Amino acid sequence: MQKLTIHGGTPLSGEIQISGAKNAALPILCTSLLTYESLRIKNVPHLNDVTTMLKLLKQMGTNISIDKDSEISLTTTHLSNPIAPYEMVKTMRAAILVLGPMLARTGEAKISLPGGCAIGLRPVDQHIKGLQAMGAEIHIKHGYIHAKASQLIGAHIVMDTVTVTGTENLMMAATLAEGITTLENAAREPEVVDLACCLISMGAKIHGAGSDVITIKGVKLLHETTYQVIADRIEAGTFLVAAAASGGDIHLKNTCPNILNSVLDKLVESGAKIQSGEDWVNLKMTNKLQSVNICTAPYPAFPTDMQAQFMVLNSVAEGTSRITENIFENRFMHVLELKRMGARIEVEGNTAVVHGVDKLEGASVMATDLRASACLVLAGLIAQGETIIDRIYHLDRGYERIEEKLLSLGVKINRIN
Ligand code: EPU
């Protein structure tokens, strides 16, 4: 199993390019299931989750070619195998995203139930409820969701909770349904908007993406497109926090500051000086780091996927802060590892109280999920001495060429087998 070693203490300095967004690319690749024609998707990050999704699509009948770096062509002339097996869904929950398009296209889908995962229970009841409202017959047998519908029918669906992949699944299914579907209490995340833009470029009739009410008028067929995935706001945020916590100065290219507002606001509050343009952000840390309170919530509020990274920042900032996690019930697993590195954190229910200390100390730590892994990398690069991070396969699911980027910013980082 591979590990990362990091010698901490160097402020990040330099310029990097932000990759395409994992959580936009995954649903966008699934749109291939909705059309007989070819899609060309650009700015797809090279990540393990993307590889798993491509494997799943290929197994279902999609023809895939990797044209050049970050550019993928997909053609699903014939969906030969409408099954997403447990082996794939268990390694990547986003595999649930094939449910809606597969059902809309073939009238049938069989997908393994994802089950719980490290950060929480993560049920998919809203995906199922929405498809049932559109006329699907759904049975759960032997751990699999069996869905059937000779023709999905548009429906008015009020979602009980804001769900990103739930909104995406239903939006994709509704593009080929008969009549109009309205999704109320829909997720407003930029990745949902990016998927909607891709679908619109394929001929879908979608209004309201980015608001909490999305209306989709079903069409008979969708067609070919070429589409570029948006930049990864969580990758950008992670590097910005790394620069702020290490007292650095970095420039991010190919990013979208307008979808990062809640994170940028917190970085300014922590003492960072930020400048930005349409597709770039510059962060310089010259002041003493101040701790900031964080409360995670659906977009446009502060993202849960940035919570762990800000925990590191607060660990070495001046003052005491409160970090409240409102999306996932078990997303504080990094706390124990940070405490082993000298952080002072107490957890009270879904709130972590962080007392800033002067420094963290390098240690051997274990990554437990994707964003917790990023948090440990950040902790390692500001800690005194050497940090060894185990189970970094989590990191490779969501950060493209992370060591290469950190090395170019001056971090002493190494991957070992
Ligand atoms: N929920 C339900 N029922 C459902 C669906 C969700 O109760 O049918 C609950 C979940 O248990 C959770 C909350 O609703 O408490 C929000 O979950 P959501 O469905 O929005 O999460 P997701 O779609 O499974 C996506 C991202 C996550 C990100 C969350 C929240 C993808 C592939 N994944 O997950 O990304 O944390 O939205 O923004 O888009 C990551 O990249 O590290 C990651 C975990």
* pLDDT tens by residue, 314-332: 999 999 999 999 999 989 9
How high is the pLDDT of residue 116? 65
Contact of 248 with 241, CB cutoff 8 Å: no
Share of residues in the chain with pLDDT > 90 (%): 92
Is a pLDDT exceeding 70 seen at residue 210? yes
Q: What distance in Å separates the CA atoms of residue 415 and residue 417, rounded to the nearest whole number? A: 7
Share of residues in the chain with pLDDT > 70 (%): 100
Quickly list H helices, 107-232: 125-133, 164-175, 190-201
Q: What distance in Å separates the CA atoms of residue 342 and residue 344, rounded to the nearest whole number? A: 7
Q: What distance in Å separates the CA atoms of residue 157 and residue 30, rounded to the nearest whole number? A: 22
Q: What distance in Å separates the CA atoms of residue 52 and residue 62, rounded to the nearest whole number? A: 13
Mean pLDDT over 193-197 rounds to 98
Q: Which of 50, 51, 52, 78 is nearest to 63 (CA)?
A: 78
Q: What distance in Å separates the CA atoms of residue 328 and residue 246, rounded to the nearest whole number? A: 28
Tokens of 27: 């649903």
What does residue 244 show for φ and ψ, rounded to 5 degrees?
Answer: -65, -50
User: pLDDT by residue (tens digit) across 76-118?
Assistant: 999 989 899 999 888 899 999 999 999 999 999 999 998 667 8
Contact of 101 with 34, CB cutoff 8 Å: yes
Q: Is 163 in the pocket of ligand 1 (CB under 6 A)?
A: yes
Active site residue 197: no
How close is the Cα of 163 to the center of ligand 1, in Å?
6
Residue to probe by mutation, ligand 1, list 19, 22, 23, most atoms within 8 Å of CB:
23
Residue to probe by mutation, ligand 1, list 49, 161, 263, most atoms within 8 Å of CB:
161
Beta bridge partners of 206: 216
**Longest CA pairwise span in the chain (Å):** 63
User: pLDDT by residue (tens digit) across 149-179?
Assistant: 999 999 999 999 999 999 999 999 999 999 9
> If you take atom 2 of ligand 1, which residue's CA is the nearest one?
123
Mean pLDDT over 227-248 rounds to 98
Q: Is 164 in the pocket of ligand 1 (CB under 6 A)?
A: yes
Is a pLDDT exceeding 70 seen at residue 195? yes
- Indicate which atom in ligand 1 lies nearest the CA of residue 120: 11
- Residue 319, number of CB atoms within 10 A of its CB: 13
Q: What distance in Å separates the CA atoms of residue 373 and residue 333, rounded to the nearest whole number? A: 10
The model carries a pTM of 0.98
Provide the mean pLDDT of the chain.
96
Quickly list H helices, 176-299: 190-201, 233-245, 261-269
Q: Which of 227, 197, 241, 235 is nearest to 19 (CA)?
A: 235
**Of 117, 198, 256, 375, which residue is the catalytic one?**
117
Mean pLDDT over 395-416 rounds to 95
**What is the helix (H) or strand (E) element at residue 407, kind and residue range?**
helix 402-408
Tokens of 82: 């409408």
